[in-house]
Amino acid sequence: MIDSFREGVLVKPYTRLDTEQVKWLDQASLNILKDPGIWCYNERAAGLFKTHGAKVWEEKDKHSVCWRVSFPSGLIKEAVSHAPSRFVLGARTPENRLLLDAEVPRVYFGSGAEANIWIEMHMQEFVSADDNGIKCKVPRFEELRGNTTLLGRAARLCERLEHLDFFIRPLNIQDPDITPSNHDVNKFFASLNNMTKHVQAGLTTIDALKDVVRMGEIITGSPEALRENPLFSFIACVFKSPLQIVDDTAEKVFRIVETGLPLVISSSPQGGSSAPIQEPGMVAQINAEILAGITLTQLIRPGFPVLYGSVPVRARMDDLHDLYGCPEFNQYNIDCVQLARFYNIPSYSTAGVGDAKTPGMQATFEKLFTHFYMAMSGAQYIHYAFGLLDRTNSFCPVQAVLDNEQIGKIKHCLRQPKIDPDTIEDTLKTVKKVMASPYRLYARHVRKAMHAGDVSDPYRFEAKGLEDKVLENALNYMDRLEQEPALHLGPEIVDKIFKEVPGILPGLKQAG
Amino acid sequence: MDNKTLIEKIAFNIIQGRVEAEDEGFDEGYEGQPAVTELVKKAIDTGIDPKNIVIDGLTHAMEIVGDKFEREEYLIPDMLASAECVGIAMDIMSPHLLKAGVKSKGKFIIATVAGDLHDIGKNIVSIMIKGAGYEVIDLGADVPTSAIVQAVKENQASYLGLSALLTTTMWEMKEVINTLKTEGLDHQVKVFIGGAPTSKSFAEQIGADAHCKDAFEAIDALKRKRINSWRK
């Protein structure tokens, strides 16, 4: 399909469900879609479902009209079978493209969410109250409101994080001049002008779609070039759990599918409030919602490239907020990855988000717990993996740097073993050679593997003495990365974008 | 190939860390080409002055390797590979250097003390010190105190390196130092100690001349003559 793309990591998938359990969940989802079916608040979607054989009837809510839809199993199965198992997510540079293949467990990690808060970290020196000679540096945190400058900074930093494979805007832009109508063009421009990897985001307003697409066509050179190298794609949470298709998001799905640019159909029910908390109930429901969303895309345009997007979370029992970084989160998510594989559709999954408010031990625990487990699942596209804190409410660049290091180690750990007759023969030769040498030391023979990147490095932020300097070292490392030049779009392209795409803040051009 | 080119090739292969022709180097594509062993033998056969080989080939190459290590371009295995090349080159040239009246930087006896079989750290130090131009006499692991002291006496060694990896065996080092005193050898030889359970304070406690946490500290101490004597 393409010769050049990001390597990601090819894993041997760990499976939680056996084949029979996958089939039971599939059947349970189909049963849900038949009875009780779904509550569809978009007339066009309801009509399309009806045209293709669904049973549709109108129901009046207090404030709006709703169409109840009961899907025959055959309709869902037929539509889902048209979704491609393999497609490319493009990028400004060919080597940064992503090859998604439902049959190949190549795992990519990227950022995600649209946090309102940017957490800036500083180190501050403190003097002991008992002994003025004792000083220590402590991280201090400052909350900033997300804006276009900070989003551009996030993209620029993420460009330099070698284990980040794709960029979903991690920060909401709330500059005084940002309005719903220019929100999308600004967030896409701030991302694309600082990032040569794949960019993905949801749309705030459907009216902005044509401008965003035009921006992509200018960057790639033509409408055809953008479709061939879709350097951005979209996310649509078409379902409001439980089981309700949202009117305006359904409209966005229609319009995005018509552009031919890839789309994630994502659902994020919360176990304990908008979905059952027990594993079979949660997974059967989220799967039903995703299947219905994918069905919609395939009825609009058979063969349209779509990702199976699952973000199942659990409610905390003390306040009913989302609870990430808990065992159930992993269980729900890995089940969804297995279901996506069952349907032969690339999986957009979730890891690296937790409840910790600042970088530190809790954040590391929660992130490692999900980063590792979900990478083992073989999900093709894992989002939320960089920089998020306080669930999805904050983005912290230092945390993104820490996550990068952690994900690098995980990718290394899950690499396929290089054990074959050739490597065994090499090994036997080396053993003989070393045992015949005076010191019987293998160090010299480490070099080939070391320089090929097969030998992992120590933890990048370790301290030498009896101090925990991880955060300070990570901050220093981030500062170094931020000194590196931004990989902006060419000035002619930027000029053309500003000429043809209305609403982009002038400050973004100056920043470029 | 002229003499200058041959010496340059020796230096290049030391930097690449290639002992023999079949070795891979730091960079790819050198397998099968003559390496340090073959090239040094050829240089000797050609009649090149061994002093020139040492100065323009070995020493020059190790300076470059040291710079690369400082810049973190090279890691320990690269450094060891190059040091091993120098050690092997010195072995080949040793009789010729003797004939030419060239002496080594000094005799360095090294051993892991009695009761302790761990020798990785000791071997690394041994390779590096040999690579730095010292004549290393490696007695191996689990070496009785009497054998160590005997080797110091027989070889009139200037330096002794003792290694231990166990808290139980590290005290053998004190036995060695005490025996050296009893035999009147303590002013002849500087004693370096190393190994995971040892420390500067332990070195001071048992009367060693220096504690080295790794091979680099040992070479540094030798090079700069910064051995602090705590012996009364």
| CATH code (residue B203) | 3.40.50.280
* Closest CA of chain B from A455, distance in Å: 12
At residue B226, the pLDDT reads 45
CA A236 to CA B192: how far, in whole Å? 68
pTM: 0.87
CA B153 to CA B146: how far, in whole Å? 11
Per-residue pLDDT tens digits for B168-220:
899 999 999 999 999 999 999 999 999 989 999 999 999 999 999 888 889 88
What are the tokens at A246?
């949202």
Buried b (16+ CB within 10 A) or exposed e, A119-135: bebeeeeeeeeeeeeee
Region at A415 (left for phi over 0; alpha for psi -120 to 50; beta for the rest): beta
* Closest CA of chain A from B123, distance in Å: 6
Measured at the CA of A57, the angle between CA A53 and CA A58, to 5 degrees, comes to: 145
DSSP A135-179: EEEEEEEEEEE--HHHHHHHHHHHHH-TT--EEE--B----TT--
Region at A3 (left for phi over 0; alpha for psi -120 to 50; beta for the rest): alpha
CA dihedral A383, A388, A393, A396 (to 10 degrees): -140
Strands A244-245 and A106-109: unpaired
Residue B66: CB atoms within 10 Å: 16
Buried b (16+ CB within 10 A) or exposed e, B177-194: bebbeeeebbeebbbbbb
Question: Does the pLDDT at position B232 exceed 50?
Answer: no
Domain shared by B139 and B94, yes or no:
no
Per-residue pLDDT tens digits for B90-100:
889 888 887 87
Cα A64 from chain centroid (whole Å): 33
Domain shared by B26 and B132, yes or no:
no
At residue A444, the pLDDT reads 82
Asked whether residue B232 is assigned to any structural domain, the reply reads no
Q: What is the mean pLDDT of each run of 10 residues along chain A (512 residues)?
A: 92 97 98 97 97 95 88 98 98 98 98 96 96 94 97 98 98 94 97 98 95 98 97 96 96 97 97 95 98 98 98 90 91 98 98 95 95 97 97 97 98 95 94 88 84 90 91 98 96 97 91 55
CA A256 to CA A233: how far, in whole Å? 9
Beta carbons of A441 and B75 less than 8 Å apart? no
Domain boundary among B99, B133, B156: B99
Specify the domain boundaries for CATH 3.20.20.480 within chain A. 1-116+145-418+486-512
Beta carbons of A447 and B24 less than 8 Å apart? yes
Return the percentage of chain B with pLDDT > 90, whole number.
53
Domain shared by B113 and B94, yes or no:
no
What are the tokens at B13?
């292969």
CA A439 to CA B130: how far, in whole Å? 12
Nearest to B24 among A441, A443, A448 (CB): A448
Domain shared by B95 and B112, yes or no:
no
CB-CB contact of A246 with A239 (8 Å): yes
Beta carbons of A439 and B81 less than 8 Å apart? no
* Closest CA of chain B from A438, distance in Å: 9
Show Cβ contacts of residue A61 under 8 Å, excluding neighbours closer than 6 positions.
none
Backbone angles phi, psi at A303, to 5 degrees: 85, 5
Domain boundary among B99, B123, B158: B99
Measured between CA atoms, the residue of chain A closest to residue B23 is A445
Measured at the CA of B74, the angle between CA B70 and CA B80, to 5 degrees, comes to: 105
Closest by Cα among A359, A437, A445 to A405 = A359
Nearest to A443 among B24, B77, B138 (CB): B77
Residue A49: CB atoms within 10 Å: 27
- What H or E segment, with its residue span, contains residue A376? helix A361-377
Q: Does residue B14 belong to the interface with chain A, where contact is any CB pair within 8 Å?
A: no
Domain shared by B68 and B152, yes or no:
no
Q: Does residue B84 belong to the interface with chain A, where contact is any CB pair within 8 Å?
A: yes
Domain shared by B93 and B115, yes or no:
no
Asked whether residue B114 is assigned to any structural domain, the reply reads yes
What are the tokens at A129?
């109250």
Question: Does the pLDDT at position B231 exceed 50?
Answer: no
Q: DSSP assignment, residue A458? A: P
Closest by Cα among A370, A319, A298, A410 to A112 = A370
Nearest to A447 among B17, B124, B126 (CB): B17
Nearest to B126 among A439, A446, A448 (CB): A439
CB-CB contact of A261 with A215 (8 Å): no
Domain A1-116+145-418+486-512 superfamily per CATH: Trimethylamine methyltransferase-like (3.20.20.480)
Q: DSSP assignment, residue A488? A: P
- Domain count along chain B: 2
CA A191 to CA A188: how far, in whole Å? 5
CB-CB contact of A208 with A183 (8 Å): yes
Beta carbons of A447 and B138 less than 8 Å apart? no
Which residue bears the tokens 């200058």? B4
Domain shared by B73 and B155, yes or no:
no
Domain shared by B59 and B8, yes or no:
yes
Asked whether residue B133 is assigned to any structural domain, the reply reads yes
Which residue bears the tokens 């990702």? A307
Burial-class residue A511 by CB neighbours within 10 Å (0-12, 13-18, 19+).
middle
CA A484 to CA A264: how far, in whole Å? 32
Beta carbons of A438 and B80 less than 8 Å apart? no
Quote the domain boundaries for residue B174.
Answer: 107-224
Burial-class residue A190 by CB neighbours within 10 Å (0-12, 13-18, 19+).
buried
Asked whether residue B148 is assigned to any structural domain, the reply reads yes
Beta carbons of B127 and A447 less than 8 Å apart? no
What residues 414-443 of chain A have any CB closer than 8 A to a CB of chain B? 438-441, 443
Domain shared by B127 and B69, yes or no:
no
Closest by Cα among A219, A203, A256 to A91 = A219
At residue B229, the pLDDT reads 44
At residue A18, the pLDDT reads 98
What's the 3-state SS for chain B? Answer: CCHHHHHHHHHHHHHHCCCCCCCCCCCCCCCCCCCHHHHHHHHHHHCCCHHHHHHHHHHHHHHHHHHHHHCCCCCHHHHHHHHHHHHHHHHHHHHHHHHCCCCCCCEEEEEEECCCCCCHHHHHHHHHHHHCCCEEEECCCCECHHHHHHHHHHHCCCEEEEECCCCCCCCHHHHHHHHHHHCCCCCCCEEEEECCCCCHHHHHHHCCCEECCCHHHHHHHHHHCCCCCCCC
CA B15 to CA B79: how far, in whole Å? 9
The CATH number for B84's domain is 1.10.1240.10
CA A392 to CA A322: how far, in whole Å? 9
Residue from A425, A444, A454 whose CB has the most chain B CBs within 10 Å, to mutate? A444
Asked whether residue B230 is assigned to any structural domain, the reply reads no
Sign of CA dihedral A504, A506, A509, A511: negative
Nearest to B78 among A440, A441, A447 (CB): A447
Closest by Cα among B193, B184, B190 to B214 = B193
What residues 115-144 of chain B have any CB closer than 8 A to a CB of chain A? 120, 123-124, 126-127, 138
Question: Does the pLDDT at position B225 exceed 70?
Answer: no
Average pLDDT for residues B48-71, to the nearest whole number? Answer: 88
Per-residue pLDDT tens digits for B141-161:
999 999 999 999 999 999 999
Domain boundary among B99, B118, B138: B99
Residue from A425, A447, A450, A457 whose CB has the most chain B CBs within 10 Å, to mutate? A447
Beta carbons of A440 and B123 less than 8 Å apart? yes
What are the tokens at A239?
């379902």
Residue from B18, B24, B27, B136 whose CB has the most chain A CBs within 10 Å, to mutate? B24
Domain shared by B137 and B89, yes or no:
no
Closest by Cα among A137, A135, A148, A251 to A191 = A148
